[in-house]
């Protein structure tokens, strides 16, 4: 079988078009920023963070489109000479673009055809809301003549006395609950954060952080004279931060949404990275192999359990100061 021809960027672009994928879909699969993907397709590697990330991104891109990752790395390293692809070997790109344009036009036609139904639905909801408003307003009208004033006066005095009793009892109970809550919160804040490893599978490491108080704050630092690439995602894989961290480009502490149970962080150079959660350091010494690692971290707050607490109970607990 003859070897495919073309540079790394040309082969990845052809493979993507043959697969019928857009650059946005490749970004969703690989979690690599679009500007880096476009730089790889144009063989403009100077726009990427560094040589380490170029190789890692080429491998991820190749796996996503079914290309030979090792052969592409050899072309990038200069071990294999690339050849310009023959015109007959290239896919018919205009046809693919036409198919994509047809998809867009179909979607636009569907939206246009559904507009009348959407407008009718809005009018229907508006009419129902007006009818319900007048119904409740009519039911709320009281008669002007009150036929039983004496009974209402007696009940008024009874209700006022009972309300005063309830208010005194509730105030005493509220003071007790406030005292108990302050004592529990003061003891809870003194607890140290414990970070334990739940599991490790390939490049994915699952951790559990216990005794989180308030909002969880993530801090990432690069070793002196080094740099690292990180991407922080929430539980829905929405990117909260992505970029290179170094002395010239420090990382601003990231506060997660209060009550967030899980987040993940992709680290390009774990050996050069210092990761802390609410000032508790994660020991990165076991992960200095030079691989791109993904840490999936579940958070357990004081007074509540995380989604992975039952799984972490059987893990070996490692406490980080």
Say what the pLDDT of residue 187 is.
42
Count Cβ atoms within 10 A of the Cβ of residue 206 and give its class: 0-12 exposed, 13-18 middle, 19 or more buried: buried
Low-confidence winner among 69-73, 96-100, 317-321 (lowest mean pLDDT): 317-321
Identify which has the larger pLDDT, 245 or 12. Answer: 12
What does DSSP assign to residue 247?
S
List phi, psi (to 5°) of 298: -95, 145
CA separation (Å) from 284 to 101, 142, 222, 317?
48, 72, 12, 15
Ranges 69-78, 181-190, 264-273, most confident: 69-78
Average pLDDT over residues 246-254: 83
Rounded CA-CA distance 245/260 in Å is 24
By DSSP bridging, strand 262-267 and strand 228-234 are: antiparallel
Two structure tokens written together for 137: 């307003």
Return the bridge partners of 210, or none: 194
* pLDDT score at 162: 54
Confidence (pLDDT) at 270 = 85
3-class DSSP state of 315: coil
What does the mean pLDDT of the chain come to? 76
Q: Cα(32)–Cα(24) distance, rounded to whole angstroms?
A: 10
Does residue 82 or residue 158 have the better pLDDT? 82
Lowest-confidence segment of 25-39, 129-143, 170-184 by average pLDDT = 170-184
The whole-model pTM stands at 0.39
Q: Which fold has domain 8-91?
A: 434 Repressor (Amino-terminal Domain) (1.10.260)
Break the chain into its structural domains and give their ranges: 8-91, 194-312
CA angle 229, 232, 233 (to 5 degrees): 140
Of the pLDDT bands very low, low, confident and very high (cuts 50, 70, 90), residue 185 is: very low
pLDDT at 271 over 80: yes
Q: 10 Å Cβ neighbour count for 234?
A: 15
Q: How far apart are CA 75 and CA 59, in angstroms?
A: 12
**Share of residues in the chain with pLDDT > 70 (%):** 68
């Amino acid at each position: 079988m003859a070897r495919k021809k073309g540079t790394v960027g040309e082969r990845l672009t052809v493979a993507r078009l043959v697969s019928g994928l857009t650059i946005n879909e490749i970004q969703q699969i690989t979690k690599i920023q679009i500007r880096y993907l476009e730089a790889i397709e144009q063989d403009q590697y100077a726009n990427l963070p560094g040589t380490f990330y170029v190789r890692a991104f080429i491998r991820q891109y190749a796996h996503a489109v079914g290309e030979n990752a090792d052969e592409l790395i050899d072309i990038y390293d200069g071990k294999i000479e690339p050849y310009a692809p023959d015109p007959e070997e290239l896919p018919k790109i205009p046809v693919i673009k036409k198919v994509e344009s047809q998809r867009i036009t179909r979607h636009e036609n569907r939206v246009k055809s559904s507009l009348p139904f959407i407008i009718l639905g809005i009018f229907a909801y508006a009419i129902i809301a007006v009818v319900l408003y007048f119904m409740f307003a009519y039911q709320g009208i009281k008669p002007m003549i009150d036929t039983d004033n004496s009974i209402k006066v007696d009940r008024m005095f009874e209700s006022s006395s009972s309300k005063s009793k309830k208010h005194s009892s509730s105030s005493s109970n509220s003071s007790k609950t406030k005292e108990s809550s302050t004592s529990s919160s003061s003891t809870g804040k003194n607890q140290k954060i414990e970070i334990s490893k739940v599991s490790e599978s390939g490049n994915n490491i699952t951790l559990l952080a216990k005794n989180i108080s308030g909002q969880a704050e993530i801090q990432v630092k690069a070793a002196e004279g080094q740099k690292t690439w990180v991407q922080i995602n929430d539980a829905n894989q929405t990117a909260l931060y992505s970029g290179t961290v170094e002395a010239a480009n420090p990382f601003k502490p990231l506060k997660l949404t209060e009550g967030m149970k899980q987040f993940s962080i992709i680290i390009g150079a774990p050996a050069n990275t210092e990761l802390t959660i609410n000032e508790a350091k994660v020991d990165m010494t076991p992960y200095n192999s030079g691989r791109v690692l993904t840490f999936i971290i579940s958070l357990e707050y004081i007074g509540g359990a995380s989604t992975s607490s039952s799984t972490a109970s059987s893990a070996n607990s490692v406490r980080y100061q």
